[in-house]
Amino acid sequence: MKRVRLFLAVLVATAVVVWPTGHTTTPAVHIGQQPTLTLPDLRPHLEAFEQIAQAHGGHRGHGSPGYAASVAYVEQKLIAAGFKTHRQQFTWNRDDGINLIADWPGGDPNDTLMIGAHLDSVARGPGINDNGSGSAMVLALALAVAATGHRPQRHLRFAWWGAEELGLIGSAHYIRMLTPESTKQIRGYLNVDMIASPNGGHFVYNSDNPIERALMSYFTARSIPTYAIPYEGRSDYAMFLRAGVPVGGVITGTREIKTEQFAAWWGGTAGAPFDPCYHQACDTNANINETVYLHSSNATAHAFWTLSHGPWEAH
Ligand code: DTR
Ligand code: ZN
Ligand code: ZN
């Protein structure tokens, strides 16, 4: 009888250790230390994007080897950090397009927080402000989530969109491929496009939702003036908005001219464009305002971290 009891004890112990009960339990919620993104977190990715463009015909446009190399660069960093990555293929203008989607394991998939940036440039140049700045920030944020072991109640999904410059093609494909149920699982989407303009400022989408409030709390806490801009449907947030997903984000300006008032608020040159190299070959690493970039990056990181847990409407 004693031998039987011993056998059963070993069997149970083995069953617990070797044969789990068939369902994976989500790791306990752990709120990691909110990161402060620094230039060493961001610049290496911007420099990699410019080197990729230089090695592949001068740009990272949809369907080009430069775009494919940009996807591979971001993907390998994410996989090394423990993300589950997925290349979502689509075709546009007879060229193969790719959205790179990365899910951080854990969290409630029915309550997903998303952040995204388009990874493609125009065919005229390397696209470092537009939109290496956004792509690098989203990558640095994802790596910070992994490094801090951040495991909030919400599921976290990161995206790098293809073919934005051709008309929001990649993000439109992503939304089109969602079912109504999976669309409802997305609690909110933060868009990150052009956040380091050389003569830039701090524009916040006039979302009137928890995303805008979380973004504004960063700037208000530092007494940094901001200017609310309406949705114009000119970046990847547009497709999420049309699908009924709450959206938000910041932008530091494109070819529009900086006014005297804005120069008084943010410095820089009145009467000149926020980004004189918008969609030009000179959109290189020299086309980055580091002060503006750090504020817009950390405002977005603060909002994402804040919104990753807690009651949505309480924000
Ligand atoms: N279409 C973006 C630039 C752009 C224009 N308006 C906005 C508003 C919000 C974000 C981005 C933009 C591009 O050239 O990539
Ligand atoms: Zn852009
Ligand atoms: Zn652009």
**CATH code at 186?**
3.40.630.10
Amino acid at 90: F
Whether 269 maps to a domain, the answer reads yes
Q: What is the pLDDT of residue 23?
A: 46
Reported as a single tens digit per residue, the pLDDT across 175-211 is 999 999 999 999 999 999 999 999 999 999 999 999 9
Lowest-confidence pick of 3-12, 206-215, 226-235: 3-12
Predicted model pTM: 0.92
Cα of 158 from ligand 2 centre, angstroms? 17
Structure tokens at 253: 């300006």
**Number of domains into which the chain is organized:** 1
Whether 22 maps to a domain, the answer reads no
Q: Please give the mean pLDDT across all residues of the chain.
A: 93
Q: What is the pLDDT of residue 114?
A: 98
Name the residue with the closest Cα to ligand 1, atom 14: 165
Name the residue with the closest Cα to ligand 1, atom 2: 235
Amino acid at 52: I
Q: Are 148 and 32 in contact (CB under 8 A)?
A: yes
pLDDT higher at 13 or 238: 238
Whether 221 maps to a domain, the answer reads yes
Whether 1 maps to a domain, the answer reads no
Atom of ligand 1 at shortest distance to CA of 164? 15
Name the residue with the closest Cα to ligand 1, atom 6: 234
Calculate mean pLDDT across residues 106-119. Answer: 98
Whether 176 maps to a domain, the answer reads yes
Is 22's pLDDT higher than 90? no
Q: What is the pLDDT of residue 28?
A: 78
Q: What is the pLDDT of residue 211?
A: 98
Distant-in-sequence, close-in-space partners of 3: CB < 8 Å, separation ≥ 6: none
**Cα dihedral 250, 256, 257, 259 sign:** negative
Whether 3 maps to a domain, the answer reads no
Is 227's pLDDT higher than 60? yes
Tell me the C-alpha distance between 272 and 264, whole Å. Answer: 14
Calculate mean pLDDT across residues 117-144. Answer: 99
Is 12's pLDDT higher than 90? no
Least distant ligand from the CA of 236: 1
Tell me the C-alpha distance between 207 and 231, whole Å. Answer: 8
Q: What is the pLDDT of residue 169?
A: 98
User: Cβ–Cβ contacts within 10 Å for residue 98, how many?
Assistant: 24
Calculate mean pLDDT across residues 72-79. Answer: 98
Q: What is the band of 18 on the pLDDT scale with cuts at 50, 70, 90?
A: very low
Q: What is the pLDDT of residue 26?
A: 54
Burial bucket for residue 185 (CB in 10 Å: 0-12, 13-18, 19+): middle
Q: Are 156 and 112 in contact (CB under 8 A)?
A: yes
Whether 199 maps to a domain, the answer reads yes
The β-bridge partners of 205 are: 229
Residues of the domain holding 43: 39-314
Q: Which residues are catalytic?
A: 164
Least distant ligand from the CA of 122: 3
Whether 15 maps to a domain, the answer reads no
